[in-house]
Structure 1
Amino acid sequence: METTTKNILVAPLNWGLGHATRCIPIIRELQKNGFTVIIASDGAALHMLQKEFPQLLSLELPSYDIEYAQNEDDFKWTLIKNSPKMIAAIFTEKKIVKKWLTEFNIQGIISDNRLGVHNKKVPSVIITHQLNVLSGDTTWISSKLHQHFIKKFTECWVPDIEEKPNLTGKLGHLKDKKLRVKYIGPLSRLEKKELKPLYDLMIILSGPEPQRTILEQKLKKEIRSFKGKIVFVKGIIEPEQKKEKSRNVLFYNYMTSEELERTFNKSKMVLCRSGYTTVMDLAKLKKMAFFIPTPGQFEQEYLAKKLKRDGFVPFATQDDFVIENLLEVGLYKGLPQLRKDVDWAALLMLFERE
């Protein structure tokens, strides 16, 4: 019996919400090109995609159960401590995916940084902007290990452009061309719209606890002396959306993609983490921004430094940030809009093989 549906499994890592949100444009493109998408993840990433695509079948994968370093000194120790749990989760994922292949008639896989979600029987793609994984003195080990897993996939899609200026720098570009890498251009679920400015500052928090809460508490104190209108998105996914107004600040626990798009477009300036998904969104929306990287996350610290050095966006560490730092924003160019017209039909031909 011939099946007409082409089922593609899309599985983002649950590490902050970035991996899940950048899968949204990919899910939309798959649907436009006649594929049926099955979502798989765990925790907040899974809940967010279920809210975004309530009509799609969603499956649960084991959690990588990653603990986050409180600070830079703990990073390597936390990495070593997490490794056995992560490797166990990767092997469990492989077994589950093998079972799902027949159970759900899966004909292709797109994994965003889930290293065990692939199978030799079907074309398997990994999406990552980290061909090199920065971890201080252990960068060479973490990068080699990551590249070892990437090689197990049919293709590796990097959401950036190959030439300079680009957004990822050494994270997404290797001198050694052994990996089957395709640069697909920055991915964002958001569109630029010409809307009348409503907010002078948009604050959007994301990422792991306890650092999300620490930054929220710090910023609540700092913004007391800010004169303009502020919209503050805490980045807490809860069953119901909550909003509250306090003087010149409108607080939200979370926003849907649609609300975020509208709010970004209505804000003059954005204060946020320097996670790569946020960087891609801001580039697409041509927004002026200020970054506070998550302490102990080498990748965010590297991106913030690189983008400041390139003259695009200023940053400060979480400990050092004061509200007056926002005056620096006007001295920078803002992120470049890196246009890369992706031929999605050609890219997705990978899954058309019989």
Structure 2
Amino acid sequence: MKVLIIPCGIGMGHASRCTAIAEKLMEKGVEVLFASYGSGYEMLKEYRKYETVKLPDLKFYGGEGELDIKDTAKKSIDTPFIFLKSIYSESKVIKDFKPDIIVADSHYSVPITAKVLGVPCVLVANELTFNFSDIYPQDKTVEYLENGLERFIKDVSRLCRAIIVPDVPESIKIPAKIEDKVFHVGPLLKEDPAHIPGKDELRRKFGFNEEDKIVLVTVGGSEFGLGLLKIVCRAWDLMDCDRIIMVTGPQISQDFIPDCDKILKKTFLEDMMEWMKLSDIVISLAGHTTSMEITALGIPNIIVPIDNHPEQLKNAAHVKKYGISLIRDMKELTPEGIADDVNRLLRDENLKVRAEKTIQTFSRYSGTEDSVEIIMEHARDNGEPL
């Protein structure tokens, strides 16, 4: 059996969770090929274990820590051309590889390409609706854009055999016409939290002292995380911790990060969940994959959504209810404020109880295994008309 996986390449989260699916498929003897672009493509190349084809880039615009929907719309006048170019590139990959099924993670040209070529497609998506008009309530252009995108996503989703939502039930709004295709499977995790070694063992493995207080900072490979990284760099000496691990992703230069014994710089971590588990606190943007990994592991965290990014704002609100996350506004973030948050979390003994409850909640799900079963079921049944 052959499976082609095409994740959205904006940030590393989509590609990262797709590697969890790929690992399980390969364990079953399935041949896997990836195709992506941007940070997702760069991350997959770093793994060096997956054959990966480069697709045309898509881009969002904004400043450090801020998504600008209006500017993105203005600068995306060539989007129809890029979209057609993507379909052409995808079709070439599909014809060369001849997959039994395609898995598309939030890359919405793929179901169209798959339909045209008669190959079954399964969609992975943690969001099927948008809330741009909440951010620009007086702007009719944004409202029209949002309505058009939602109709497009709904119509494209109907072309898929199944839609995998890597989250708990009722985490997102599902359009009525595709409810019968949707499966809430829980997080797609590269490692089962119950099978990851304990914190002390992981610290010995990676060369840290068992008694160290460790803070992990990760921005998911997105250039929108540059602002958060710079604030942490101004706060490092105010934090009552021993080590700060800063993971920038492949598209952010590390030149601005201080050279000191307290800070460990990383471009990419293949075993990210192990590094999360050995940490006392994680500071992150509100990307869905990272948020789910942190929460499933029960690690106290500080989540900073990208400004004007509806999905990240919803992700932050979603994880806040578990009681182990502090949600902070990027515009209001200061070095003193984030240092105070870190120091307060490091002292809060009550977090342990809430962390254990969170781990128990997510332990009920086996998202990666269930997703693989859904994919293989539809690959075996690819003679059925779409």
Q: TM-score range by the shorter chain?
A: 0.7 to 0.9
Q: Could you state the TM-score of these two structures normalised by the residue count of structure 1? A: 0.84
Opposite residue 269 of structure 2, the aligned amino acid is T
User: Which residue of the partner structure matches residue 59 of structure 1?
Assistant: 53
User: Which residue of the partner structure matches residue 110 of structure 1?
Assistant: 103
**Correspondence for 2:198 among 194, 197, 200:** 194
Q: Provide the C-alpha distance between the structure 1 equivalents of 2:186 and 2:318, rounded to a whole number of angstroms.
A: 18
Q: Report the identity percentage.
A: 18
CA root-mean-square deviation: 3.0
Opposite residue 162 of structure 1, the aligned amino acid is P
User: Which residue of the partner structure matches residue 129 of structure 2?
Assistant: 132
Deviation sequence 1:48-76 (CA, Å, 0-9, x none): 1122243x432111111x13223899733
Asked if residue 349 in structure 1 is aligned to residue 345 in structure 2, the reply is no
Q: Could you state the TM-score of these two structures normalised by the residue count of structure 2? A: 0.78
Q: CA deviation at 1:142?
A: 3.3
Deviation sequence 1:168-204 (CA, Å, 0-9, x none): x3xx232625342122221122443312154432222
User: Which residue of the partner structure matches residue 50 of structure 1?
Assistant: 45
Q: CA deviation at 1:141?
A: 4.1
Deviation sequence 1:133-178 (CA, Å, 0-9, x none): 2313434443333222222222211101225xxxxx3xx2326253
Asked if residue 225 in structure 1 is aligned to residue 253 in structure 2, the reply is no
Opposite residue 227 of structure 2, the aligned amino acid is I
Q: Provide the C-alpha distance between the structure 2 equivalents of 1:252 and 1:235, rounded to a whole number of angstroms.
A: 8
User: Which residue of the partner structure matches residue 184 of structure 2?
Assistant: 183
Q: What residue ranges of structure 1 are gaps of 5+ in the alignment?
A: 1-5, 164-168
Residues 346 and 303 (structure 1), Cα distance of their counterparts in 2 relative to 1, 3 Å cut: closer
* Count of residue correspondences: 337
User: Which residue of the partner structure matches residue 166 of structure 1?
Assistant: none
Residues 144 and 230 (structure 1), Cα distance of their counterparts in 2 relative to 1, 3 Å cut: farther
User: Which residue of the partner structure matches residue 160 of structure 1?
Assistant: 167
Residues 86 and 125 (structure 1), Cα distance of their counterparts in 2 relative to 1, 3 Å cut: farther
User: Which residue of the partner structure matches residue 206 of structure 2?
Assistant: none
User: Which residue of the partner structure matches residue 340 of structure 1?
Assistant: 365
Opposite residue 108 of structure 2, the aligned amino acid is L
Q: CA deviation at 1:79?
A: 4.2
Residues 71 and 145 (structure 1), Cα distance of their counterparts in 2 relative to 1, 3 Å cut: farther
Opposite residue 41 of structure 2, the aligned amino acid is L
Say if 1:90 and 1:115, in contact at 8 Å, map to a contact too.
Answer: no
Deviation sequence 1:282-339 (CA, Å, 0-9, x none): 1222211111111221211222234335534111112323111235544663455422
Higher normalized helix content (fraction of residues)? 2
**Correspondence for 1:36 among 1, 23, 31:** 31
Q: Provide the C-alpha distance between the structure 2 equivalents of 1:176 and 1:152, rounded to a whole number of angstroms.
A: 15
Q: Provide the C-alpha distance between the structure 1 equivalents of 2:297 and 2:65, rounded to a whole number of angstroms.
A: 31
Residues 87 and 264 (structure 1), Cα distance of their counterparts in 2 relative to 1, 3 Å cut: same
Asked if residue 174 in structure 1 is aligned to residue 167 in structure 2, the reply is no
Say if 2:102 and 2:120, in contact at 8 Å, map to a contact too.
Answer: yes
Asked if residue 143 in structure 1 is aligned to residue 150 in structure 2, the reply is yes
Q: Provide the C-alpha distance between the structure 2 equivalents of 1:346 and 1:115, rounded to a whole number of angstroms.
A: 19
Deviation sequence 1:221-258 (CA, Å, 0-9, x none): 122111211222232328x99998514x2221323322
Q: CA deviation at 1:92?
A: 2.2
Say if 2:55 and 2:90, in contact at 8 Å, map to a contact too.
Answer: no
Q: Which has the higher contact order (CA 8 A, sep 6+)?
A: 2
Asked if residue 319 in structure 1 is aligned to residue 331 in structure 2, the reply is yes
Opposite residue 130 of structure 2, the aligned amino acid is V
Say if 2:34 and 2:52, in contact at 8 Å, map to a contact too.
Answer: yes
Opposite residue 266 of structure 2, the aligned amino acid is N
Residues 241 and 262 (structure 1), Cα distance of their counterparts in 2 relative to 1, 3 Å cut: farther
Residues 72 and 140 (structure 1), Cα distance of their counterparts in 2 relative to 1, 3 Å cut: farther
Deviation sequence 1:85-134 (CA, Å, 0-9, x none): 44433322222333333322222100111111231211111111001123
Residues 72 and 32 (structure 1), Cα distance of their counterparts in 2 relative to 1, 3 Å cut: closer
SS at match of 2:264: strand
**Correspondence for 1:205 among 219, 228, 240:** 219
Say if 1:190 and 1:285, in contact at 8 Å, map to a contact too.
Answer: no
Deviates most, 125-134 or 143-152:
143-152
Where do residues 258-297 of structure 1 align in structure 2 (5 Å cutoff)?
A: 258=271, 260-297=272-309
Q: Provide the C-alpha distance between the structure 2 equivalents of 1:99 and 1:347, rounded to a whole number of angstroms.
A: 22
Residues 316 and 18 (structure 1), Cα distance of their counterparts in 2 relative to 1, 3 Å cut: same
